[in-house]
Amino acid sequence: MAKKNKGTIAIMTGGGDVPGLNPAIRAITIRARREGFKVIGLRRGWAGIVELIQDEKADNSNNYTELTQIIVNRAGRTGGTFLHSSRTRPSHLPKANVPDHLKDKYQDDFNDMTNVVLDNLNYLGIDYIIPIGGDDTLSYAVRLYKEGFKVVAIPKTMDNDVPGTDYCIGFSTCITRTINMTNTLRTSAGSHERFLILEVFGRYAGFTAMLPTMAGAANRCVIPEYKFDIEKLTEYLVRDRYENPSKYSVVLVSEGAMFKGGEMVFKDAEKDQFGHSKLGGIGELVSKNLKELSPKFNNGKKINVINQKLGYLVRGGDPDAVDSIVPMAYGNLALDLILKGIHGRLVVLKNGRYDNVPIDVVTGKSKLVNIKKFYNTERLRPYYNSFEMNPMFIMTSE
């Protein structure tokens, strides 16, 4: 039976893709349409709404689309985001990225397009927007909320570092893949009696290195929250290798990890619109140093390395069970709030239970590994203390 139209909800996905985005889009769309809402999918993150042309004759198919059950069912079991994504930051849009039809009005090196975003949302008749993203994407959602727009946000990032929640969409699949790929590569490391160095995600937070190591995938891990001594790491890995009957050892290296006295390693000087330079190369540097230092702790004999950056291998493909279930729940939680007329919230998992918190928690603090509680700085690996009453993935920032 047709229901009275309760309004229009927009969904968008921003930042890096992760498995679980399409299940979230599916859950929101099906529930919203059943409740009597029209659902619009904004394409390419915040870029789609910035670039929209307010003209009935304009082709805006690259900027938004109406979502139906048939459309979302087809994509809901797959990875990535069929709405596509970008790292567009409307409050700091470079002059080169200003749409052609707005170039005469916005000519600064960086332009605040928030008025354009709000105007375009109103043009489409959007009543609520549900952004799905990490702290960068959601920081702009906070801005829209402060401007008076109705926002209910969903946390997504394989780094699992959005504040206020124990869990972000994409994290479980990332951890699962990291463990599986480490186990795949250890056969080569063992065959050649080498060090295995795997660079994993984690710009500021080391959760993606800590959890697989805690699960037994690696002997050691180095994370952004603690600058490590490369000689100490080499000594430990030589010892780990010696104690292993197959004569190899494994270390997981967060992309944001830093040598003692050093800084983050960047691939180049180019920055995205959120001010982040592209990380890359710390795994190679660790590998080079381990090989050079290994004779000092291995009776003068050099130990060769296998160096692998996991990168998009843990980002692509289908979601695991957790990243199929949690996005479904998050999407329905968002609708629960909207049906109650509540907005300005972030849906979350806290201590194993679904909940919601004020959206501005995203910009109010950082979510990092608690070094004192979870990371043994002397042994460069997680602590294995009592896990009683800890959440499922053990570590949160609170």
Mean pLDDT of 78-91: 95
CA 109 to chain centre: 28
Question: Catalytic residue positions?
Answer: 159
**Cβ neighbours for 340, distance < 8 A, ≥ 6 positions apart:** none
State pTM to two decimals. Answer: 0.93
Helix intervals (H) in the chain: 21-34, 46-51, 69-75, 114-123, 135-146, 171-192, 207-214, 230-243, 282-297, 322-339, 361-364, 371-374
Tens of pLDDT, residues 193-224: 999 999 999 999 999 999 999 999 999 999 99
Contact of 9 with 130, CB cutoff 8 Å: yes
Judged by DSSP in three states, 356 sits in: strand
Domains of the chain: 7-169+319-364 (3.40.50.450), 173-311+371-382 (3.40.50.460)
Tens of pLDDT, residues 122-153: 999 999 999 999 999 999 999 999 999 999 99
User: Greatest CA span in the chain, whole angstroms?
Assistant: 79
- Residue 192: φ, ψ to 5°: -110, 5
**Cβ neighbours for 246, distance < 8 A, ≥ 6 positions apart:** 190, 193
Q: Give the whole-angstrom CA distance, residue 214 versus residue 277.
A: 29
Provide the pLDDT for residue 265: 76
Burial of residue 19 (number of CB atoms within 10 Å: 0-12, 13-18, 19+): buried
Provide the pLDDT for residue 387: 86
Supply the mean pLDDT for the chain: 93
Walk across the sheet containing 195-200 and list its strands.
220-222, 249-254, 195-200, 305-309
